[in-house]
Structure formats: C-alpha cells, structure tokens
Chains A and B, each alone.
Chain A
Amino acid sequence: MAEKSAVPSRLDQRDASWFIDKLFQVLMFVGGISAVIFIIGIFVFITKEGLAFLFEGFSFLEFFGSINWRPTSTNPTYGALALIVGTASITGVAILVAIPFSIGAAVYISEFATGKTKETLKVLVELLAAIPSVVWGFIGLSIMNEFIIEVFDVPIGLNVLNAGIILGLMAAPIMTTIAEDALKAVPDKYREAAEAMGATRWQIIRQVVLPAAKNGLVSAVLLGVGRGFGETMAVLMASGHAINIPTSPFDSVRALTATIAAELGETAQGSEHYGALFALGIFLFLITFIINLAADLVVRGIRKK
C-alpha cells in the first residue's frame, strides 16, 4: 500500500520515466554515431576484400600506369589508368556543365525570386535531385545519344560529352541546394549596405554576395565533383563503356564505378579479378573521402594563407 507523501521516501528511486529517458539517450547515441560505424565498417569491408589482391597480384605501376584492363584474358592485366582518366574526364565535363546551371539557379533563387516563385523553384530543384539515375542514363542512351550524333556529326553519341552532360545535370540540383544555402547565409545587412551606397543588383551579387559566400560555393562544387566520381548507372549507360584514353569529348570511355558494377557479378568471390575490383573500390572510396573532407574544410574556412 503505497501512500503519496510530499517527501518521497527514497530520493534515489528510479521510476519508469528514468529508464525511458536512459533508453532514448542510448538509442539516440547509437543513431548519432551510426554514420561513423558505417563508414568504418564499409572501409574495413572493401579493404579486406581487396587486401589479398593488393598484396599479391597488385602492381602499383601497372594499376596506375597501364591502360590494359584485361581481367578475363588468359594472362590477366589490371591497368586502371584508362578507367581513372575516363571517370576524371566525365567528371570534368560534368562540372563545367553543372557550375553555370547550379550557381545561376542558386543566385536566381536566393537573390531574385520571391514568395511563391522561390518556394516552387526550391521544391522543383529538390524534385530534380530525386530523379533515379537510371532514368538519367536512359535519357543519355536514347535522347542525348541521337542528339550528339546529329549535332556534331560523329559516329557514336555515347561518349565523354554525353556522360558529362548527363552527370552535370544530375549533380546540378544538389549543388544548387548547397550553393543557395551558402548565398542565403550571407547576412542581409551587407546587401543593404551596398545598395545604400548605390550598388546595382548585379554589383551587389558580384562584389558582395558571391565573395562572401565563396567558401560555401567552392564546397558545393567539390561535392558535385564527389558525386561525379561516385555516380555509376547513368555513367555506365551514357559513356559507351569502352576502355580508352579519350583524346576528344566524342570518344567513348569507361568509368571506375561502371567497371565495378558491370563486372563484379560475373567474378568468383575471392578471385584475383574480384580483388582487383575491390582495389578500384578502395581507390574510389579514398578519392570521394578526400573530396568530401576538402569540401568540409573549405566550408569551415580553413585555408592555407
């Protein structure tokens, strides 16, 4: 028979709400550090799978110096240079495409659009970011392919240009969102000060807003680059998937990611080929990790003086 009293009999009594509070603290903590756990887990996994290859079949010179990726030949060679150059060239074109689109869209949304227009545009940009990459690949394979063949009068439309444009359009929405956040973070008092001194809209954007948002904009571009290195399906479909060092944007290439996606299903687990694909994975992981880290450092304004 418990009696309620103004002074609890035991001050250290733990009731249900104490346990629920503790439980949620633990759950939230696990949720919070899960990102760290997953990152480490993924890194350990791909390293473990690729490790045997790195120690046995791996030749640094061949991997980074040879363009011969012949994993199924009787005398297999694993030269990833063409794949690396393929990925880099597609990403390069993609960034050239994505920068004007994304920075332009971000400036318009942040500095010009108001009210309904602004909200609608932001929703549409987010919607654009959610289009599945296979749909983009499909557009590359069908529409862009024919378009490039006709406009530039080249035999094949599946090439660096195609994959670069598709990838640029894919990366633009997320870059727009980040760039717009960066512009929005520029305090309005700077714009007001400049306007009161007689600056025009363009002068304000060019001389005040963009320089003040510089770090965020660079970070947006870097994340776009990271996205470019990692994208697989659309690149696989639009690039032509031919091992080749491109000499023009109309050459077909093959990307690192596309190689892994296309070949991993056909290799025996634990085989040399399997290990080589994981070595590509490690390389990709390191590249994207470094790019993302750089983007993060830039946004914090840590720069070399």
Chain B
Amino acid sequence: MRTVGKPRFAVRTEKLNFWYGSFQALFDVDFNVRAGLVTSLIGPSGCGKSTLLRCVNRINERIGNVRTEGKVEVLGHDIHAPEVDLTQVRSQVGMVFQRPNPLPVSIRKNILFAHGLHTPHKTTKAEQDGIVESALRDVLLWEDVKDRLDRVATELSLEQQQKLCIARLLPVKPAVLLMDEPCSALDPKATAAVEELIWKLRGEYTILIVTHNMAQARRASDECAFMLMGKMVEHRRTEDLFLTPNSQKTADYIEGRYG
C-alpha cells in the first residue's frame, strides 16, 4: 500500500562512506528506510550501526575530524547539499539517545524547547499548554506528570525521562525518529513500555532504531537491517531476516555465534 504524495522511502543512503579521522567506519552503504515503518539496525558492537544512524541527522559531525562521502537523502532531499540548513534537517529528523538526556529544566520547558527553536513567532500560554499536553499524551506520559509539569525533568524515572525525550521531538512534527539503543539504560519493564510506545508511533513517523537486543528487533520492527564491519549485509522484512537469512553471516549473528 503506497501513500499518495509521500515518498516511499523516508531515508536513503547511496554509496555512503564515513571516516572518523583515518578510521573508516562505513563502507559503501546503500540503505533505504521505508516511510511509516519501524526499521531496526542490528549488528555486533562497532559494526557501524550507530554511525549510520548518526549520519542521518549529521550529528556525528559535532565531534570534528570526520569525513563523509556518498549521499544521504531525507524525504528526497540531499542533506549534504550546500544550501541545506542543518537546523531544518534536524527538525525533520528527531533523535533519541542511549541514555535519556532531558535538559535540566522543567518538564514543560523540555517539551517546548525544540518547538521554540523552530517557531519564530511567540506562542501564547494556551497554545503552549496544548502543545505540552498533546506531546505528553502521545507518549502516554500525560497522566503521570500532568500535576508536576514545572518540576525538573531529571527527577523523573529513567523510563519517564526517555518517554519525555521522545515527546519533546513531536511538537516540531518530524518525519523521522532516530533511536540509538533507546532501551539500553532501562529495565525490562520500562523497555517493554518504551517498545509499546514506539509501536504506537509507527505509521505517523518513520522510525529507525539501533538495537543490541535481537529479541527487541524481532518483536518491534517491520524491517531489519544487519550490518557487519561497516558494511550493510542484509536488509529485509524482519521475519524473513530472522527465519530465512540470505547471508551466512546474518545466520551466524542471529544464532549468537558472535556479537
């Protein structure tokens, strides 16, 4: 089923190579992420899956001394084109990090932060209240925190913090959500809650999620891509990849022979 007017792929990379200094982390990666689905990236530590994810919003350039070759397209736009405004790219591509990283301000201000960056005009208190409530409702956090919106966000539990980190991306209406092992700091119960949330956001957002946890990739993604040593090995529907892997390397990995 194809949605009219929307590109089929939210993110595309073409012959993407990436270096940290002289170390090459990605080799000719071609990767197409279907719009509106959850795609998981799996592979052993150091295989380049986080690097690939961080190429999509160019956040990996902040450490300096890195080099990119090849093409990354978001919604059909080459994000390395000279006229591209990175702040625009990042309003379209939200990111959730391994460790929850809410800003050390109130819950309310956390939700309004990105919105404030991308909204040139002033918003009224009522508009802001609406934004905060709808973002928190979307991540199933409203009932928990509605009475303490002015409390510092870092007081919340890790699960709540991570949900808040997802919620604060929503007011700017991104098309893509990048998640870099979003559950690795959480206990199993919190993991299940965040996974459930990711599944709920599916459809409205294109979600690209890096995970170490194969069970998670298997139960909470539509498509799955396996990477090894900076190369894309296999990218298929999740159930196909896990049941009948094309590559022997994929089979070895998902059967736990390494990684």
Interface residues of A (CB under 8 A from B): 114, 189-190, 192-200, 203, 207-208, 211-212
A211, B117: Cα distance in complex, Å: 16
Are A195 and B59 closer than 8 Å at their CB atoms?
yes
Are A208 and B103 closer than 8 Å at their CB atoms?
yes
Pairs A-B, 3 closest by C-beta atoms: A198-B90, A198-B87, A197-B114
B105 located at the interface, meaning its Cβ lies under 8 Å from any Cβ of chain A in the complex: yes
A114, B63: Cα distance in complex, Å: 11
B95 located at the interface, meaning its Cβ lies under 8 Å from any Cβ of chain A in the complex: yes
B64 located at the interface, meaning its Cβ lies under 8 Å from any Cβ of chain A in the complex: yes
B169 located at the interface, meaning its Cβ lies under 8 Å from any Cβ of chain A in the complex: yes
- Chain B residues near A203 (CB-CB < 8 A): 117
B36 located at the interface, meaning its Cβ lies under 8 Å from any Cβ of chain A in the complex: no
In the assembled complex, the CB of B64 is this many whole angstroms from the nearest CB of chain A, namely 7
A86, B64: Cα distance in complex, Å: 50
- Chain B residues near A212 (CB-CB < 8 A): 103-104
- Chain B residues near A193 (CB-CB < 8 A): 97, 101-103, 165
Q: Give the nearest-CB partner of B104 in chain A.
A: A212
| 19 A-B interface contacts by CB (under 8 A) | A114-B64, A189-B101, A190-B104, A192-B62, A193-B97, A193-B165, A194-B113, A195-B59, A195-B62, A196-B59, A197-B90, A197-B94, A197-B168, A198-B114, A198-B117, A200-B87, A203-B117, A208-B103, A212-B104
Interface residues of B (CB under 8 A from A): 57, 59, 62, 64, 86-91, 94-95, 97, 99, 101-105, 113-114, 116-118, 165, 168-169, 172
- Chain A residues near B104 (CB-CB < 8 A): 190, 211-212
Q: Which residue from B57, B103, B118, B172 sits with its C-beta under 8 Å from A194?
A: B103
Are A198 and B118 closer than 8 Å at their CB atoms?
yes
Are B95 and A198 closer than 8 Å at their CB atoms?
no
Q: Which residue from B64, B91, B102, B113 sits with its C-beta under 8 Å from A207?
A: B113
Are B62 and A197 closer than 8 Å at their CB atoms?
no
A207, B97: Cα distance in complex, Å: 20
A200, B172: Cα distance in complex, Å: 16
Are A196 and B95 closer than 8 Å at their CB atoms?
yes
- Chain A residues near B86 (CB-CB < 8 A): 198
A52, B29: Cα distance in complex, Å: 85
A195, B62: Cα distance in complex, Å: 9
- Chain A residues near B168 (CB-CB < 8 A): 197
In the assembled complex, the CB of A24 is this many whole angstroms from the nearest CB of chain B, namely 41
Q: Give the nearest-CB partner of A203 in chain B.
A: B117
Q: Give the nearest-CB partner of A187 in chain B.
A: B101
A208, B87: Cα distance in complex, Å: 16
- Chain A residues near B94 (CB-CB < 8 A): 196-197
In the assembled complex, the CB of B120 is this many whole angstroms from the nearest CB of chain A, namely 13
In the assembled complex, the CB of B162 is this many whole angstroms from the nearest CB of chain A, namely 12
Are B59 and A211 closer than 8 Å at their CB atoms?
no
- Chain A residues near B97 (CB-CB < 8 A): 189, 192-193, 196
In the assembled complex, the CB of B110 is this many whole angstroms from the nearest CB of chain A, namely 9
- Chain A residues near B59 (CB-CB < 8 A): 192, 195-196
Are A211 and B87 closer than 8 Å at their CB atoms?
no
A190, B105: Cα distance in complex, Å: 11
In the assembled complex, the CB of B109 is this many whole angstroms from the nearest CB of chain A, namely 9
Are B117 and A199 closer than 8 Å at their CB atoms?
yes
Most central of A190, A193, A194, A198 by chain B CB within 10 Å: A198
Q: Which residue from A192, A194, A195, A198 sits with its C-beta under 8 Å from B91?
A: A198
Most central of A193, A197, A200 by chain B CB within 10 Å: A197
Given the contacts A193-B97, A197-B90, A211 and B105 also touching, CB distance less than 8 Å: yes
